[in-house]
Structures are given as C-alpha cells and as structure tokens.
Amino acid sequence: MKLPLFKAAFKDQQTSMWVYVGVMLFYGLLIMVAFLSVEDMLSEPFSSVEGITLTKIGTNDEYDVFNLKWETRTGTAAHVAFGLDLDEGMDWANFTLDDIEGFNMSQVQDLFEDHFGNISLGEYLKDDPMLMEFFENYTGDHSGNMHYPAPIPFPDGKSGIELVYFGEGTYVNFTNSGSSLLFVVGLIPNDWNLSNITFLGPVSSMDLMQISDFDEYLEENPMMKAFFGEEMISFTEIEGFIALEYFSMWPLMLLIFLAIKTGGTVSKHVDDQSIDILLATGYSRFRFLNEKMLVVAMNLALVVIAAWVGVILGVFMIGKPVPVAGITIAFLGSVPLAFGMVGLSLLLSVLIDESSKTTGAIMGLTIFMFMIQIVSNIAGWQDGLGYISLFTYYDMNQLMVHRTFDAVNIILPSVIGMVSMIASYILFKKKEIHA
C-alpha cells in the first residue's frame, strides 16, 4: 500500500522529531547519572566526629539502614552503642550527653536489666563468657558483632534511648526502626566499671533524615504529593527514583510533544493553504486524515522507543540492575494517555483554522489539565474534578513499581481519544476549507 502523503508529511516534520528523539535519549541517560549523585550523597558519611562515623547504607521497608563505625582504644573490654530519640527544639550546637533527659548510666543499666532480669550487666558480662555468647546468638549479627534490634522507648515518652549494639566489634549495621536522631558509642573499660565508660559521639542522623526521609516529606507536603502522586515510594531505590524523577514528568513531556505534532494535522494545511493542492490530487478527506494520523503514530512510537532506550541504557550505564519490566510497563501505560491527547489535539486542529492558535489552544489545554491534576490531588478531588485531566490517568507508581495496569486508566483516556477522534473525522468530512 502506497502512502505518499504519509511519506511527505513525515519527512517534512522529521527534524523536530529527531531532535525530540535525541532529547529523550539524552534525558534518560542524564537522569540516571543524577541518580548516582543522589546515591553518592546518601552514602557519604553525613555525620562524623572524632572516632565515630554514621553512614546511611540503604533502606529496609520504611526505615533507613545505617552503618555506625567507631575506633576502639586499648583497655576497652566491649562497646555499647545507643540511639537517642530526642525532643525537638534542642540546642544542637551546644548539645552534650548531659542534655539527654534520662541519660545516665543507671538508666543504661536499667535498660539491660529490663531484658536480662535484675542482674548487673557489668558483672554478668565480665564474669560469664557464656552470657556473652548468648547475647551474640540472641541478636544474630552475621558479623559476629551484636546489635540489639528493638527500639526501647523510655516511659516518659518524650525522649528515649535504645540499645543499638553491644559487643566487642567496632561497627554495626542496623535498621533505625526507632528513628533515633543521635548515636553514641560507649567504650566499656576492662574493669567493667560502667561509671568510667568513655563516650564517642554523638553523631546525628538529622541531616541525613532530611534527605532520606524525602518520602516522608512528600507525604506531609500536599503540593509535592500532588506532583509526585498519591502513593509514596522510596526515592533512594532505583525504581522509586525512576518513577519519581522520570515518570512524574514523562506524561507532560509526551503530551506537549504530541500537542505540537498533532496540532498542525489539519490547521497547518488550512492555514498555509497547502491542503488545496493535496486534496486536489483526489485524496478523500478520510485518507488524508488517516495518513496524517499515521505520521503522529510514527512520531509517538519513535519518541517512546527513544525514551525507553534512554532510561534502560541509563540504568545499565550506572551499573544497576535494570528494572526492564517496570520501565516498559510505565511507558506502555502512557499510550492510552497519548491516544487521548492525540484525539483532543486533532479535534482542535480540525476546529481551528489558524495553526498558531491551534497550537496555543492545545498547549493551554495541556497545561490546564496538568494544573487540574495537581489541584485535585491537593484537594482530594481525584474522583471529581480530576477526571477531566488526562494526567489523572497515569499512575507512575502503580505502573513502574507494582507493574500493574489500572483498567480505568486505560479505558477512560482511550474513550476520550476515540470519541474525539471520531468527532474529528466527522467534522473534517463536513468542514469547509476556505482560501
């Protein structure tokens, strides 16, 4: 089947299309390099004082996983690491351990005793290697070190202390399930006199919290939540990062591209009067639109493929496992959205004869729908006003992270696309083409 109009129209528009294809390829690569920076930022020890360093090494469910590392000294029998949960509004600059409410060694002892009965920790550990072994087994630290896994809030509820580690090792990896803000390590002297413990620290998780609790920040910030979507996902995992940083913007990038590409389908030819000679060849209006729509479809396919390759290559380049399925599904999930946009753009292109006005109207509509989505997310109008925005029908988290399609998100934009496309064909068939 010969498609001369398709070939001519595709060729005519190809420069802008290849530019967009290049941009999408490049953007995918670039955003993944940005992920490395985020990761670097998170893996840098953010808090380090003499002899002790706290580093974030990942996340486990919704909690951060830290590495706490310290230097030991001669004459040290064992190390005990505490996490401290503090009141807000403290004077951090002049903070000392004495400022921690309830932090005194008797309470530390109480803490141990809560779990090991009314037995002096010092006595036990000093005299009973078996207990030491038990302690190790109980905490199950693979490194042979031990950490105490559960947060222990103090009864007053305001501030608290939790045991993070006890043993002879010089580091611990732990899940900060108690959300402690400060960490200290006590070096227990050989005589096990707990009043002579030397403390290292404190190191703070405050700075890191501000970055790693981005998800929490989103949850608390409706504007950001509206922008990034209803369901929060981890920013620091590659999938979450791609969903947040790439696919939150992808619908806007795609729809603007389609607005530009589809807007001129009819109006450009009416405006510059090229449609006269094209139709004079004996092309029916139906065939004219078919081949012009094929150009849009080809543009869409090439840009989506370029974007897909860009992201996949980007993840591959930074040496991370590539979530191919998630990325593919997230791109496929944008196709109904694209179809909806193409239908609406075509309709405006048929209705408005001046191509600059058509493009303006379509861009205006796109931005309007984007704003509607944000506003309805903030106000919780997703099931009301939100329905009129195509952007509502794109859930990056569901697609990218959960890898599932929502029927509504496929059907509704497809129906919008189908109805407006049928209307466009009918109106174009009836349209009077003025000189």
Partner 1 sequence: MTPDIDPVIELNKLTKFYGKSRGIIDVDLSVKRGEVFGFLGPNGAGKSTAIRTILDLIRPTSGWARVNGMDPTKEGAKVRRSVGYLPSDFGTYKSMTAKAYLRTLLEMMDYRGQDRIEELAGRLDLDLKRRIKDFSRGNRQKIGVVSAFMHNPKLAILDEPTTGLDPLMQQEFYRIVLEEKSKENTVFLSSHILAEVESICDRVGIIREGRLIMVENMSTFKKKTGKVLNVEFDRKVDPYIFMSLPGVSDIKVGEENILIMTVSSHIDGVIKELARHTIIDLTYDEVSLEDLFLKYYGKENVSHNRNGARGVVQ
In the complex, the residues that contact partner 1 under the rule CB under 8 A are 2, 4-5, 7-9, 11-12, 269, 272-274, 276-285, 287, 432-435
Q: How far is the CB of 294 from partner 1 (least distance, A)?
A: 14
Q: Which two tokens stand for residue 369?
A: 């729908």
When the beta carbons of 4 and 364 are compared against partner 1, the nearer one is 4
When the beta carbons of 13 and 334 are compared against partner 1, the nearer one is 13
Q: Which two tokens stand for residue 115?
A: 């779990």
Cis peptide before 202 (omega within 30 of 0): yes
Rg over CA atoms, the chain: 31
Residues near 360 by Cβ (< 8 Å), separated by ≥ 6?
none
When the beta carbons of 115 and 285 are compared against partner 1, the nearer one is 285
When the beta carbons of 71 and 354 are compared against partner 1, the nearer one is 354
Q: Which two tokens stand for residue 14?
A: 């190809």
When the beta carbons of 324 and 426 are compared against partner 1, the nearer one is 426
Distance CA 64, CA 309 (A): 32
When the beta carbons of 402 and 431 are compared against partner 1, the nearer one is 431
Is the backbone of residue 153 left (phi > 0), alpha (psi -120 to 50) or beta? beta
CB 254 within 8 A of CB 248: no
Q: How far is the CB of 258 from partner 1 (least distance, A)?
A: 21
Reduced to 3 states, what is the DSSP secondary structure of residue 358?
helix
Distance CA 39, CA 354 (A): 49
Neighbours of 44 (CB within 10 A): 11
Q: How far is the CB of 270 from partner 1 (least distance, A)?
A: 10
Which CA distances in Å does 202 have to 47, 280, 307?
9, 82, 46
When the beta carbons of 142 and 434 are compared against partner 1, the nearer one is 434
When the beta carbons of 2 and 142 are compared against partner 1, the nearer one is 2
When the beta carbons of 357 and 403 are compared against partner 1, the nearer one is 357
Instruction: Say which residue the tokens 């992201």 belong to.
Output: 311
H or E segment at 426?
helix 407-430
Q: How far is the CB of 295 from partner 1 (least distance, A)?
A: 12
Q: How far is the CB of 6 from partner 1 (least distance, A)?
A: 10
Reduced to 3 states, what is the DSSP secondary structure of residue 122?
helix
Burial of 150 (0-12, 13-18, 19+ CB in 10 A): exposed
Q: What are phi and psi of 277, to 5 degrees?
A: -70, -35
When the beta carbons of 95 and 283 are compared against partner 1, the nearer one is 283
Q: How far is the CB of 290 from partner 1 (least distance, A)?
A: 13
Q: How far is the CB of 378 from partner 1 (least distance, A)?
A: 45
Q: What are phi and psi of 157, to 5 degrees?
A: 75, -15
Helix, strand, coil content of the chain in percent (nearest 5) = 60, 15, 25
Q: How far is the CB of 1 from partner 1 (least distance, A)?
A: 11
Distance CA 205, CA 209 (A): 6
Q: How far is the CB of 13 from partner 1 (least distance, A)?
A: 9
CB 220 within 8 A of CB 387: no
Q: How far is the CB of 430 from partner 1 (least distance, A)?
A: 8
Instruction: Say which residue the tokens 């840009």 belong to.
Output: 303
